[in-house]
């Protein structure tokens, strides 16, 4: 049983190490499912962080549903709304963008970026193209147009193409890379570089955000970022409807909003289907994602893994998981403390990941380590529960050799109290001593096997009687039995004393039944004496380093042993002391046998009483035992047996 418990305990440690190794392999592999799970965890932390105020220099001029519907007003009444002529039909005339750029620059804008692909000549004719070209000729060094890598598939394979504006002007790529979980979190430059390497594009165009930053006169950031720093969900940046810039009545009211601002012009209407899932939002317009990237570059915010190399990250994470898990497994052995410990470790890991992300813009693995710690905790709790169950069964079997099953259960229910008992405690309890009369003579005349068999038969019935009344078997001394009532668990003085007296009367009845059985087998009859004393005793482990014994010591123990021997002198089988009698006198019929001086207590005599029966019971058994004992004592001391053993 002990070996099985140890094997289960070791199994828990082994499984914890296995979970740590699994975590290392998972993180190092960068499998799409692992990337997906970790991405979900990072999204949770990002939402938990909440919005962060973005730089005030960025404004989005949105091509929204309101602006798209203004063409209906123009078509209905062209003379009343002549300024809406460029917006009559989508795609809009290039003059709409030219007018917007002119007005934004006149208002003091630092730079303008157009997140609309103008890669083909205008469908409204050369004059329309010329209008935008003239505006770009004046402001082109502060205006960035959109370019894109186009990768399309067909039955003949992939077709790749670089789409650039038809105007001779600075441009930036608008491509965004989507992750395994369908979310856009990769920094634009990283996604563009991946596309460039995958499809062998030979250009060196920057991203739209990077080129816009340069157009506004900001230096390139000194550090590269793996992921976009999202300031918040959709709507984090101020958005002005595009048509408001063209409206001559409204423009003077809002012109000052664009002074010293970087303006990104792009689709925000849902009909464009340009809304993308991000770690912090389920539907963000693409132009706003570029705004987040631009803002992060302006403020030098980078979001990178805490450890860049996946293999090193996996190894370090495994070491951390293994150390935490094994430390908690060795430190706590009970299920509840283990559960609390592992939950605390998981919370601490999540808190560390959150703090690193918020204050250092560093990403550390969350989902896999938390899952490994969680599974390690479950494994430890499961194996610990099995181990504790085995240990409890072993302890129960050990305890039930000495105490009643109900007492054993009470001890197991309060293991801390049981542990404290082993170091020694004082109790007020009843001590019972029992001894077979004349057993030395019987054992001398019987053979060894017959003696042991007879003694075991006797002790079985005596122990059953003691345990049935919540007694604790202290020890066997040859044919003598020592037991306590009230230690290590007490029901109160009266109940403990009554338990001892009840056990003694049950022993009397059981021995009377046993004598009839022995007589039928032509074996010698057995009689015993029982002494019960009540008082203070000390219970605990007594012995040497090599051998310890859980036992009771004290004057109460000595008195019980002495009055057990006194039963021969007074001619009865059960004697109790005055303190015990005072506790049970309302329940029993007793005979006053006076005071006696006991060995070792010459200075103080002891009052003893012989127990006849409980008041609600008759004294027939008591009288029969007395009669049988007198008859037995009057017989010759030499006993003959039907099959006497051979003597050597």
Q: 488 preceded by cis ω (within 30°)?
A: yes
pLDDT above 90: percentage of residues in the chain: 49
Q: How confident is the model at residue 370 (pLDDT cuts 50, 70, 90)?
A: confident
The answer on pLDDT for 65 being more than 80 is yes
Task: Name which residue leads in pLDDT, 301 or 370.
Answer: 301
Least confident of 96-105, 320-329, 334-343, 347-356: 320-329
Residue 262 pairs in a beta bridge with 58, 111
**Per-residue pLDDT at 54:** 94
User: How much is the average pLDDT of 469-489?
Assistant: 90
The strand pairing partners of 163, in sequence order, are 148
Please indicate, yes or no, whether residues 382 and 481 belong to a single structural domain of this protein. no
3-state DSSP helix/strand/coil % of the chain, to nearest 5: 50, 20, 30
pLDDT band at residue 209 using 50, 70 and 90 as cut-offs: very high
Tokens, residue 176: 């965004």
User: Which of the listed residues 396, 424, 441 is the one where a domain comes to its end?
Assistant: 396
In order of 497, 573, 607, the CA distances from 593 in angstroms are 19, 12, 7
**CATH number of the domain bearing residue 421:** 3.30.70.1230
Query: Could you report the per-residue pLDDT of 378-387, keeping only the tens digit for each?
Result: 776 776 666 6
Give 416-425 pLDDT, tens digit per residue. Answer: 555 555 556 8
Evaluate whether residue 621 is within a structural domain.
yes
pLDDT at 5 over 50: no
- 62-66, 185-189, 288-292, 445-449: lowest mean pLDDT where? 445-449
**pLDDT band per the 50, 70, 90 thresholds, residue 353:** confident
- Domain-located, residue 131: yes
Q: 257, 285, 301 — which closes off a domain?
A: 301
- Is residue 17 in a domain? yes
- CA–CA separation, 555 and 533 (whole Å): 10
Q: Are residues 255 and 343 in the same domain?
A: no
pLDDT over 60 (residue 4): no
Going from the C-alpha of 546 to that of each of 216, 398, 419, 538, 549, the distances in angstroms are 86, 19, 19, 21, 10
User: Are 271 and 330 members of one domain?
Assistant: no
More confident residue, 447 or 134: 134
Class of residue 173 by CB neighbours under 10 A (exposed 0-12, middle 13-18, buried 19+): buried
Q: How large is the average pLDDT for residues 274-296? A: 93
Please tell me the total count of domains within the chain. Answer: 3
Instruction: Mark which of 370, 396, 422 sits at the end of a domain.
Output: 396
Q: Residue 403: its pLDDT value, please?
A: 54
**Confidence class for position 231, pLDDT limits 50, 70, 90:** very high
Instruction: Tell me the range of 299-308, 358-367, 554-563 where mean pLDDT is highest.
Output: 554-563
Is 640 within a domain?
A: no
Nearest-angstrom CA–CA distance, 373 and 350: 11
Query: The domain containing residue 310 runs over which residues?
Result: 2-30+306-396
Q: Is the model's pLDDT at 550 over the cut of 90?
A: no
DSSP reduced 3-state for 280: coil
Asked if residue 607 belongs to a domain, the reply is yes
* pLDDT tens digits, 520-544: 988 889 999 999 999 999 987 776 6
Do the domain assignments include residue 404? Answer: no
- pLDDT for residue 240 is more than 90: yes
- Rounded Cα distance, 177 and 496, in Å: 80
């Amino acid at each position: 049983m002990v070996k099985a418990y140890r094997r289960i305990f070791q199994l828990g440690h082994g499984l914890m190490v296995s979970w740590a190794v699994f975590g290392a392999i998972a993180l190092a592999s960068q499998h799409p499912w692992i990337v997906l799970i970790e991405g979900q965890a990072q999204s949770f932390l990002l939402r938990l962080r909440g919005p962060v105020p973005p730089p005030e220099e960025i404004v989005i001029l949105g091509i929204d549903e309101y602006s798209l519907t203004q063409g209906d007003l123009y078509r209905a009444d062209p003379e009343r709304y002549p300024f809406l002529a460029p917006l009559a039909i989508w795609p809009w005339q290039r003059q709409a963008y030219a007018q917007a750029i002119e007005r934004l620059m006149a208002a003091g804008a630092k730079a303008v970026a157009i997140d609309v692909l103008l890669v083909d000549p205008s469908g409204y004719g050369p004059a329309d193209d010329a209008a935008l070209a003239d505006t770009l000729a004046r402001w082109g060094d502060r205006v960035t147009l959109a370019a894109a890598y186009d990768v399309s598939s067909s039955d003949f394979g992939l077709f790749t193409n670089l789409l650039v504006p038809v105007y001779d002007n600075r441009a930036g790529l608008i491509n965004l890379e989507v992750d395994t979980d369908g979310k856009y979190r990769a920094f634009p430059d990283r996604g563009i570089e991946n596309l460039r390497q995958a499809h062998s594009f030979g250009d060196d165009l920057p991203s739209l955000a990077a080129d816009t930053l340069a157009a506004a006169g900001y230096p390139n950031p000194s550090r590269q970022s793996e992921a976009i720093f999202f300031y918040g969900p959709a709507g984090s940046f101020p958005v002005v409807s595009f048509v408001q810039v063209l409206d001559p009545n409204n423009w003077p009211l809002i012109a000052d909003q664009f002074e010293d601002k970087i303006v990104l012009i792009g689709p925000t209407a849902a009909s464009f289907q340009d809304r993308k899932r991000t770690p912090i939002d389920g539907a963000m317009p693409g132009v706003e994602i570029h705004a987040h990237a631009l803002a992060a570059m302006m403020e030098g915010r980078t979001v990178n893994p805490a450890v860049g190399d996946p293999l090193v990250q996996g190894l370090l994470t495994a070491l951390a998981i293994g150390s935490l898990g094994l430390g908690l497994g060795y430190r706590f052995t009970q299920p509840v403390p283990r559960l609390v410990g592992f939950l605390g470790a998981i919370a601490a890991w999540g808190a560390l990941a959150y703090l690193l992300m918020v204050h250092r813009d560093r990403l550390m693995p969350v989902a896999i380590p938390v899952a490994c710690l969680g599974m390690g905790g479950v494994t430890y709790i499961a194996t610990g529960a099995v181990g504790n169950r085995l240990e409890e069964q072993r302890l129960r079997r050990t305890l039930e050799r000495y105490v009643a099953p109900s007492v054993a259960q009470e001890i197991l229910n309060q293991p801390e109290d049981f542990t404290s008992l082993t170091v020694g405690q004082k109790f007020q309890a009843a001590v019972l001593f029992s001894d077979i009369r004349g057993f030395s003579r019987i054992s001398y005349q019987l053979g060894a096997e017959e003696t042991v068999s007879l003694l075991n038969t006797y002790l079985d019935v005596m122990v059953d009687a003691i345990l049935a009344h919540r007694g604790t078997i202290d020890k066997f001394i040859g044919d003598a039995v020592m037991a306590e009532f009230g230690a290590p668990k007490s029901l109160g003085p009266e109940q403990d004393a009554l338990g001892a007296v009840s056990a003694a009367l049950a022993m009397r009845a059981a021995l009377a039944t046993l004598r009839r059985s022995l007589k039928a087998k032509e074996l010698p009859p057995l009689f015993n004496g029982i002494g019960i004393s009540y008082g203070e005793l000390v219970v605990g482990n007594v012995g040497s380093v090599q051998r310890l014994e859980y036992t009771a010591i004290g004057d109460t123990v000595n008195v019980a042993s002495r009055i057990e021997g006194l039963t021969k002198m007074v001619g009865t089988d059960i004697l109790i002391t005055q303190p015990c009698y005072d506790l049970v006198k309302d329940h029993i019929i007793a005979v006053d046998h006076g005071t006696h001086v006991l060995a070792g207590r010459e200075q103080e005599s002891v009052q003893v009483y012989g127990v006849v029966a409980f008041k609600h019971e008759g004294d027939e058994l008591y009288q029969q035992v007395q009669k049988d004992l007198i008859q037995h004592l009057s017989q010759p001391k030499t006993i003959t047996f039907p099959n006497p053993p051979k003597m050597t």
